[in-house]
């Protein structure tokens, strides 16, 4: 199937080629898009859950938003605070003519609640600043439907999070992030309102199902 396009060199690419272009771009400019293993689990979660609407925190160039939307046409609201990322994502979404299904909000996610507060989401994908996962979770899960799913990427952060014996060897900033993710991890696993599992796949992903 050909990708329809406006004015970019993405014209007439198959979805496969389009995805590869985005992955190449991410590699060249060091954009941390979701790894293939994490994406595979994300896709299967969507096929099982069949969410009508998904909230994503952390758009980057729109790669995961586009991949999530493609499966069953879930409506995506995605939040990005970096102007260059936002513009690149918008370009990619427009190249696919998906502006009506993938809505990109250019804001810090901690300040974007009002933009989506009247909506309900069947799934929330958290994939932005790791130090803020707990805040994102607390801010946005009131909008999650019953039996909704929270999916988080980078939960193991290159394997550093659970290797507490090694924390002393990390730089102070990396140690801080590892500690914050570990605290979030523990909080999720002990949260009685959710059934959570953490998977050592990609950069570590968690799936939490609201009970």
Binding site for ligand SAH (CB under 6 A): 32-34, 58, 60, 63-64, 79-82, 85, 108-110, 127-129, 132
Determine contact, residues 124/54, Cβ cutoff 8 Å. yes
- Minimal distance, residue 161 CB to ligand SAH, in Å: 17
Nearer to ligand SAH, 108 or 187 (CB): 108
Smallest separation, CB 63 to ligand SAH (Å): 3
The verdict on 56 binding Mg ion (CB under 5 A) reads no
How far does Cα 144 stand from its chain's mean position? 15
Query: In this chain, which stretch among 20-28, 74-82, 147-155, 194-202 interacts with Mg ion, using CB under 5 A?
Result: 147-155
**Residues facing residue 56 across a β-bridge:** 78, 125
Q: Rounded to the nearest whole angstrom, what is the least distance from the CB of residue 4 to ligand SAH in the complex?
A: 21
- Give the whole-angstrom CA distance, residue 94 versus residue 71: 18
Candidates 69, 127, 132, 144: give the one binding Mg ion (CB under 5 A): 127
Number of residues that bind Mg ion (CB under 5 A): 3
- 79 makes contact, choosing from ligand SAH, Mg ion, none, with CB < 5 to 8 Å by partner type, with ligand SAH
DSSP class per residue in 61-119: TSHHHHHHHHHH--EEEEEE--HHHHHHHHHHHHHTT-TTTEEEEES-GGG-HHHHTT-
Greatest alpha-carbon pair distance for the chain in Å reads: 52
In the bound state with Mg ion, the residue whose beta carbon lies nearer, of 78 and 154, is: 154
CA-closest candidate to residue 207, choices 25, 44, 81: 44
Residues binding Mg ion (CB under 5 A): 127, 153-154
């Amino acid at each position: 199937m050909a990708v329809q396009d406006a004015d970019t060199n993405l014209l007439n690419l198959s979805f496969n080629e389009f995805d590869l272009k985005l992955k190449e771009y991410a590699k060249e400019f060091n954009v941390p898009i979701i790894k293939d293993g994490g994406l595979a689990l994300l896709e299967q979660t969507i096929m099982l859950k069949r969410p009508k609407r998904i909230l994503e925190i952390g758009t980057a160039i729109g790669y995961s938003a586009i991949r999530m939307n493609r499966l069953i046409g879930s409506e995506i609201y995605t939040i990005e605070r970096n102007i260059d990322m936002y513009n690149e994502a918008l370009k990619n979404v427009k190249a696919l003519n998906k502006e009506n299904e993938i809505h990109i909000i250019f804001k810090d996610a901690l300040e974007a609640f009002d933009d989506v507060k009247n909506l309900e989401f069947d799934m929330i994908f958290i994939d932005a600043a790791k130090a803020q996962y707990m805040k994102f979770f607390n801010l946005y899960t009131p909008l999650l439907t019953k039996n909704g799913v929270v999916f988080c990427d980078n939960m193991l952060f290159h394997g550093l999070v659970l290797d507490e014996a090694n924390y002393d060897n990390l730089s102070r900033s990396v140690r801080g992030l590892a500690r914050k993710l570990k605290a979030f991890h523990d909080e999720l696993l002990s949260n009685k309102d959710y059934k959570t599992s953490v998977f050592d796949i990609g950069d570590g992903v968690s799936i939490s199902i609201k009970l």
